[in-house]
């Protein structure tokens, strides 16, 4: 053999971001970027992944068995909901009657989405009280009759929600087993698997998940096909909204968990590229700038409920401020007005540097010598270049001020393809950090994602000390993370929240603990 023996242990990771416009791939060794490549996503996801990932394997001189794991982030499922396309009709079983009948399922959905997804609902007996007592007993005959009707109507996606199932999921499991007798092949989503306390938000998430079931099968198939075509044998992981990973097998069943993984990945990528754990991040794209806050290497989560395609959910999502300013933003009135409209995907047709007729922020940045794009001669004699740059900096600074947590200053990490539109070394009192490979922060974020676990339950402090309850919650979250593939020794708590429940006896309190750990075998530190 002419080449050296393969390393004893594969240690490279392949990070892929499948966006609506571009598919990016990076090849990583620890937190070092060995190679990156960007292609248009186009209509065939498999082809795009093979092209982007194939290119980085070649550039990095890597062979498939050196790759330890493939991590993939995607907006395919979010886009399907936003565009109301490729969704299944879902029949909803809610176990709670006679409680909850005042607000039936999908009451708060936008009409157009409801028309696409609504496959009828059944308010059935069941559900639990806050203390675990049954609201009413499960009625097997009632569930069987509903399942039979669903089968006769020809629907193959079902969402099952039971009141207080995050406390005890037994009723949802039993209802699934009964419904399976009539619907052996249906895609059935149990709400406790994907949501926390908050019936409507959890039910909404379960319905959206069921609505994505056919698309999930196709898309995950395309992903695994691409991995096969590349000759890779490493396991495939998919990124979730909270910056942690799930297996491809899990993602087929829970596609809804990929929502908002894009912004999370780019913020996590910014943390690793810059080596900073506490910082502001500005991800400047073509049309918008997303500004978020990294606390301890993870994005700060939004406290309010988050809407996806107009539907309220209680997903963990980063708290972002989105500003209508990017590389494609239109510049008017000598730079006094920038955006929020943008040439978007048509930058290469419409921007002046490409011979177009629209003055964009990218033209300004090229004219100032800050960006390398198109033909600089086209923008050699622009007016008000400095005034426009100053205005852009002012807009970004105002947004940073709103996100900055306290009077202390924080560094600002710039990532995204539009990053060069912001000049200078400091902003909002903080140092500007421009890490290398910032334009593929997204794929890098996917590649360094960790494995998480969460506990969100109501504990009674009757006869149990607060300390014991907190310890139990931590154990539950850790066990979940280990089951998801985390290395036990690397697990640490990233968030803990306690909400005391007023009016309930026994000092009940709601504890939410979130932990993360390294994927077994990577030994990668957050932000290291």
Partner 1 sequence: MIKIGLEDLDDIALGATFLGTGGGGDPYIASLMTRRAIAENGPVTMLSLDEIDDDVLVFACGNMGAPTVAIEKIMGADQPPAAVLALEAHLGHQADLLMAFEAGGSNSMMPIYNAAMLGKPMVDADGMGRAFPEMQMVTFSVYGASSSPFALASEHGDTTILDISDDKRAEYLGRGIVIRMGARSAKASFPMDGKTAKRVAIPGTTSLCQSIGANLRQSRAENRDPFAALIDMLSGTHYGHAKILFNGKVTDLIRETRDGWAIGKVVITDQQDASLEVEFQNEFLVARQDGKLRTIVPDLICILDSEMAQPITTERLRYGQRVTVMAVSAPSIMRTEAALAIFGPVGFGLTEPFVPVENLP
Q: Kindly tell me which of 104 and 369 has the beta carbon lying closer to partner 1.
A: 104
Q: Kindly tell me which of 191 and 213 has the beta carbon lying closer to partner 1.
A: 191
Q: How far is the CB of 323 from partner 1 (least distance, A)?
A: 12
Which member of 57, 159, 200, 311 binds partner 1 (CB under 8 A)? 200
- Give the span between the Cα atoms of 34 and 12, in whole angstroms: 9
Q: How far is the CB of 199 from partner 1 (least distance, A)?
A: 5
Under rule CB under 8 A, which residues in 131-150 are in contact with partner 1? 133, 135-136
Which member of 221, 229, 278, 498 binds partner 1 (CB under 8 A)? 498
Can residue 345 be called a binding residue for partner 1 (CB under 8 A)? no
Task: Produce one character per residue of 259-296: b if its CB has 16 or more CB atoms within 10 Å, e if not.
Answer: bbbbbbbbbbbbbbbbebbebbbbbbbbbbbbbbbbee
Which member of 102, 141, 377, 380 binds partner 1 (CB under 8 A)? 102
Can residue 4 be called a binding residue for partner 1 (CB under 8 A)? no
Under rule CB under 8 A, which residues in 104-133 are in contact with partner 1? 104, 107-108, 127, 129-130, 133
- Give the span between the Cα atoms of 215 and 78, in whole angstroms: 11
- Give the span between the Cα atoms of 101 and 511, in whole angstroms: 28
Can residue 99 be called a binding residue for partner 1 (CB under 8 A)? yes
Q: Kindly tell me which of 237 and 459 has the beta carbon lying closer to partner 1.
A: 459
Can residue 465 be called a binding residue for partner 1 (CB under 8 A)? no
Can residue 507 be called a binding residue for partner 1 (CB under 8 A)? yes
Can residue 458 be called a binding residue for partner 1 (CB under 8 A)? yes
For 63: left if phi > 0, alpha if psi spans -120 to 50, otherwise beta; the answer is: beta
- Give the span between the Cα atoms of 308 and 315, in whole angstroms: 10
Stretch that binds partner 1, among 91-99, 249-257, 368-376, 519-527 (CB under 8 A): 91-99
Can residue 402 be called a binding residue for partner 1 (CB under 8 A)? yes
Q: How far is the CB of 404 from partner 1 (least distance, A)?
A: 8
H-helix or E-strand spanning residue 92: strand 90-97
H-helix or E-strand spanning residue 117: helix 111-117
Q: How far is the CB of 171 from partner 1 (least distance, A)?
A: 13
Q: How do strand 412-415 and strand 430-433 relate by DSSP bridges?
A: parallel
Which member of 7, 42, 98, 521 binds partner 1 (CB under 8 A)? 98
Residue 329 sits at φ, ψ, to 5 deg, of -60, 140
Total residues in contact with partner 1, by rule CB under 8 A: 45
Can residue 488 be called a binding residue for partner 1 (CB under 8 A)? no
Question: CB burial class (10 A; 0-12, 13-18, 19+) of residue 430?
Answer: middle
- Give the span between the Cα atoms of 469 and 457, in whole angstroms: 10
Q: Kindly tell me which of 237 and 298 has the beta carbon lying closer to partner 1.
A: 298
Can residue 500 be called a binding residue for partner 1 (CB under 8 A)? yes
Which member of 163, 455, 477, 526 binds partner 1 (CB under 8 A)? 163
Question: DSSP string spanning 317-378?
Answer: -B--EEES--TTEEEEGGGTEEEEEE-GGGHHHHBGGGT-SB-BHHHHHHHTTS---S-GGG
The three-state secondary structure class of 187 is strand
Can residue 36 be called a binding residue for partner 1 (CB under 8 A)? no
Q: Kindly tell me which of 50 and 197 has the beta carbon lying closer to partner 1.
A: 197
Q: Kindly tell me which of 204 and 447 has the beta carbon lying closer to partner 1.
A: 204
Joined tokens for residue 39 = 């292609």
Q: Is the N-terminal amide bond of 135 cis, ω within 30° of 0?
A: no
What value, to the nearest 5°, has the Cα angle with vertex 498 and ends 493 and 501? Answer: 155
Under rule CB under 8 A, which residues in 301-330 are in contact with partner 1? 303-304
Q: Kindly tell me which of 482 and 501 has the beta carbon lying closer to partner 1.
A: 501
Residue ranges binding partner 1 (CB under 8 A) = 96-104, 107-108, 127, 129-130, 133, 135-136, 163-164, 197-200, 293, 300, 303-304, 402, 405-407, 458, 461, 498-505, 507-510
């Amino acid at each position: 053999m002419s080449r050296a023996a393969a390393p004893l242990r594969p240690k490279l990771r392949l990070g892929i971001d499948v966006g609506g416009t571009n598919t990016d791939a990076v090849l990583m060794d620890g937190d070092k970027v060995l190679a990156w490549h960007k292609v248009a996503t186009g209509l065939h996801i498999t082809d795009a992944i093979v092209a982007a990932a194939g290119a980085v394997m070649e550039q990095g001189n890597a062979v498939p068995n050196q790759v330890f794991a493939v991590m993939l982030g995607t907006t395919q499922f979010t886009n399907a909901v936003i565009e109301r396309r490729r969704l299944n009709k879902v029949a909803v079983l809610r176990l709670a009657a006679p409680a909850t009948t005042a607000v039936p399922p999908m009451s708060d959905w936008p009409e157009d989405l409801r028309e696409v997804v609504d496959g009828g609902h059944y308010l059935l007996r069941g559900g639990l009280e806050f203390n675990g007592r049954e609201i009413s007993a499960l009625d097997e005959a009632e569930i069987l009759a509903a399942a039979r009707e669903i089968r006769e109507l020809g629907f193959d996606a079902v969402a099952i929600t039971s009141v207080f199932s995050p406390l005890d999921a037994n009723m949802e499991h039993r209802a699934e087993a009964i419904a399976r007798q009539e619907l052996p092949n249906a895609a059935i989503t149990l709400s406790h698997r994907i949501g926390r306390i908050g019936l409507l938000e959890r039910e909404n998430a379960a319905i959206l998940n069921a609505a994505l079931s056919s698309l999930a099968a196709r898309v995950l198939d395309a992903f695994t096909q691409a991995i096969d075509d590349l000759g890779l044998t490493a396991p495939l992981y998919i990124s979730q909204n909270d910056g942690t990973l799930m297996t491809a097998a899990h993602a087929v069943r829970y596609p809804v968990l990929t929502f908002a993984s894009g912004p999370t990945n780019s913020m996590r990528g910014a943390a690793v590229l810059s080596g900073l754990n506490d910082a502001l991040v500005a991800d400047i794209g073509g049309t918008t700038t997303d500004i978020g806050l990294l606390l301890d290497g993870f994005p700060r989560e939004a406290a309010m409920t988050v809407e996806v395609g107009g539907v309220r959910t209680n997903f963990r999502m980063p708290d972002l401020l989105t500003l209508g300013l990017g590389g494609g933003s239109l510049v008017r009135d000598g730079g006094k007005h920038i955006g929020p409209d943008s040439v978007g995907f048509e930058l290469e047709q419409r921007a002046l540097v490409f011979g177009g007729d629209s003055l964009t922020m990218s033209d300004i940045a090229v004219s100032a010598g800050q960006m390398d794009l198109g033909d600089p001669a086209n923008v050699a004699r622009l007016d008000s270049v400095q005034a426009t740059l100053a205005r852009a900096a002012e807009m970004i600074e105002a947004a940073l001020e709103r996100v900055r947590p306290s009077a202390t200053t924080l560094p600002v990490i710039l990532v995204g393809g539009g990053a060069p539109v912001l000049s200078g070394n400091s902003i909002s009192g903080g140092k500007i950090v421009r890490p290398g490979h910032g334009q593929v922060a997204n794929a890098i974020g996917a590649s360094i994602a960790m494995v998480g676990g969460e506990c969100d339950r109501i504990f009674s402090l009757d006869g149990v000390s607060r300390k014991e309850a907190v310890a139990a919650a931590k154990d539950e979250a850790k066990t979940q993370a280990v089951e998801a593939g985390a290395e036990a020794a690397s697990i640490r708590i990233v968030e803990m929240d306690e909400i005391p429940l007023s009016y309930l006896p026994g000092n009940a309190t709601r504890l939410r603990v979130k932990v993360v750990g390294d994927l077994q075998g990577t030994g990668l530190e957050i932000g290291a």
